[in-house]
Amino acid sequence: MFEVQPRVVPPYSKLAETYDIGLGIPFFVRTRIAFENLVQRYGICFRTAADLGCGTGLFACYLSQCWCVPVFAVDRSPAMLQMARRNCRDSNICFLQQDIRQLCLPHPVDLITANFDTMNHLLNGCDLKAAFQRIHANLRPGGHFIFDLLTHRQPSHIARGIIIRLRAKAGREFLQQIQWFPWQRLLSILAILRFSSSMPPKIEVHKERLYSPEATRRWLQETGFMIRGIHDAATLREATSCPSRVIIVVKRFS
């Protein structure tokens, strides 16, 4: 595939530069539609919000500009936060570099969101439960947490490995090589970026743990959340079986 030896770089260190055109904008459009549907369906009101795993800031910017609320935009990646600050020159957004397992907002908020596999980047149940505890602590009583999650039921062809060619800026190439390991419930994603034929391609290695809705439901309830709905992300219907991606809406009791 490569003419010159590729170089492995830290996750999101190079992907941030071409993330939106290849992945961010298409997923944001779907996320916005789902969010507005679920907010209306559950009658969710909020005056403050936080977006975890904010990436390049598209959803945080949307919350600020379309819902007119102050937003904390949280991500662990300095490169993604740098891109988010460029995208969202909005005084209503406060950018924070934090690990969500130790989430500590300046003050509790009414709504927390986590989109596009953010919670799947936590690679074991202990880390996921720790994040749920910190999210609970940073929500006001009665506040909501809305997030998506890849489940342990993925299409069988992904176990054989697939390569997806994504849109990129002129003169650049962006590929994803994805493989699903069912027994480990792990998804391995190589983000392959070529900036010119004379430069070695850059490869970022991303790992995601895939969780069952049943275990996730139990951990949320143990943390003190009330489950309001688990939805098939593709249809937004209640997930009566186990689709490959779900959107979960929970509320803090008190």
Cα 193 to Cα 175: distance, rounded to the nearest angstrom: 7
249 neighbors 34 (Cβ within 8 angstroms): no
Give ranges for CATH 3.40.50.150 in the chain. Answer: 15-152+211-252
For residue 171, the tally of other CB atoms under 10 A from its CB is 9
CATH code, residues 15-152+211-252: 3.40.50.150
Give ranges for CATH 2.20.25.570 in the chain. Answer: 154-209
Top CATH class, 154-209? mainly beta
Any idea what the Cα angle at residue 11 is, between residues 7 and 13, rounded to 5°? 80
User: Taking residues 193-204, what's their average pLDDT?
Assistant: 80
Stated pTM of the model = 0.93
Residue 2 has pLDDT above 70, yes or no: no
Percent of the chain with pLDDT over 70: 97
Helix 25-42 to helix 58-67 angle, to the nearest 10 degrees?
Answer: 40
Q: What element of type H or E holds 144?
A: strand 139-150
> Any bridge partners for residue 92, and if so which?
none
What are the helix and strand counts (H, E) for the chain?
6, 12
pLDDT, tens digit, for every residue of 20-61?
777 778 889 999 999 999 999 999 999 999 999 999 999 999
